[in-house]
Amino acid sequence: MPNRVPKGVIPTNLLEFPAIKAWRELRPELVQPDKIEILKGHKVTARRSAYRLVGVGPEGSAVIAKRCRRAKALIEHTVYEEVLQYLPVPTLRCYGLVEEKDGEFCWLFLEDAGEEQYSAFTDEHRRLAARWLGLLHTSAARVALAARLPDRGPRHYLERLRSARDRILGNLANPALNADDYAVLDAILSQCAILESRWNQVERLCEGMPCALVHGDFAEKNIRIRTNGAGITILPFDWGNAGWGFPAIDLAQSPLPSIGFTGNPDIAAYWEVARDHWPSFDLQTIQQWATLATMLRTLVAINWDALSLAYEWVEKPMIWMRLYMETMDCAMRPAGWTD
């Protein structure tokens, strides 16, 4: 799926392109694509890459071909094939999965969600996202999938916290970091230490939540909208981080417009759906879930971007680190989780 606009097109030898060869294992009939657009990863050898195969799908539609590691591909395929199509939520069609010969990577083929962007700061989009999540969580909570999907409980996020801390500490000797950078990273390390010291409270909050299928990366970049005569439909995708855990994680909020690593679902709209199924949880409780989710999703983002602190050019990752520090502070202060 694209983040913004396609980065380019494959110029020649379309039928010999690896994504087309894999597609023909699912659809043996010879189909000449109109074009192949590069959506992610400029090299075929990239660990993660995605392409739009124009004209090869049903009735000449486009198909999205994703190349990713087998573990993540299998998670996505399970979610599409065994869960989403049976739930009362709009979803994309999955055309199938093809494993490469080495078994390390797979091609996953999906319906094209289109280019219409979701905005985490548009009220209507946020309400739609909240209702979609409410239906997903309450419906999927009744599906026995705990053994089929990765655990997305408190332990998973404690591991992310410790990994983020270790990655920051391991890169503090980078001479590209300046005094301001050190101050930001020191503040993040302090936030991590406070959060870890209160992890028993995190676990208590999670103990009271129902378990369900969670997206795990419910962010602007992983959501499209589709507009037609019936209105607006929300279409989340990229389920590689999905799992079985507490639904709060998908409710994380981005207080800063410059950050788009959450979907900012409207909490009141989510509660309006969830309360019919989980009447023991009031709106205040759901808001507490969202506050906790914001901290945990920020930890995941810090852990990911801390990898880039090992290199010479740290300006961009440090821009994000400052935003993560501010986001964590915005979540921790109302919760009283500060020094």
pLDDT per residue over 49-105, tens digit each?
899 999 999 999 999 999 999 999 999 999 999 889 888 999 999 999 999 988 899
The predicted pLDDT at position 44 comes to 47
To the nearest 10 degrees (0 to 180), the angle between helices 283-305 and 179-197 is 130
What is the DSSP pairing of strand 151-152 with strand 243-245?
parallel
Nearest to 111 by CA among 66, 46, 69, 70: 66
Handedness of CA 270, 273, 274, 279 (dihedral sign): positive
**Strand blocks (E) in the chain:** 8-9, 35-40, 49-54, 63-69, 94-99, 105-111, 151-152, 212-214, 223-228, 231-236, 243-245
Least confident of 2-11, 26-35, 199-208, 323-332: 2-11
**The domain 123-335 belongs to what CATH superfamily?**
Aminoglycoside phosphotransferase (APH), C-terminal lobe (3.90.1200.10)
**C-alpha to C-alpha distance for 219 and 73, rounded to whole angstroms:** 19
**C-alpha to C-alpha distance for 62 and 113, rounded to whole angstroms:** 9
Domain ranges of the chain: 8-111, 123-335
- Under a CB-based contact definition with an 8 Å cutoff, are residues 220 and 122 in contact? no
Give the predicted TM-score (pTM) of the model: 0.91
pLDDT per residue over 286-335, tens digit each?
999 999 999 999 999 999 999 999 999 999 999 999 999 999 999 998 87
**C-alpha to C-alpha distance for 334 and 338, rounded to whole angstroms:** 9
The segment with the largest mean pLDDT, out of 9-13, 39-43, 286-290, is 286-290
**C-alpha to C-alpha distance for 162 and 59, rounded to whole angstroms:** 49
| Token code pair at residue 156 | 């998973």
Banded pLDDT at 4 (limits 50, 70, 90): very low
Q: Which fold has domain 8-111?
A: Phosphorylase Kinase; domain 1 (3.30.200)
Mean pLDDT, the chain, whole residue set: 90
What is the longest distance spanned by two Cα atoms in the chain? Answer: 64
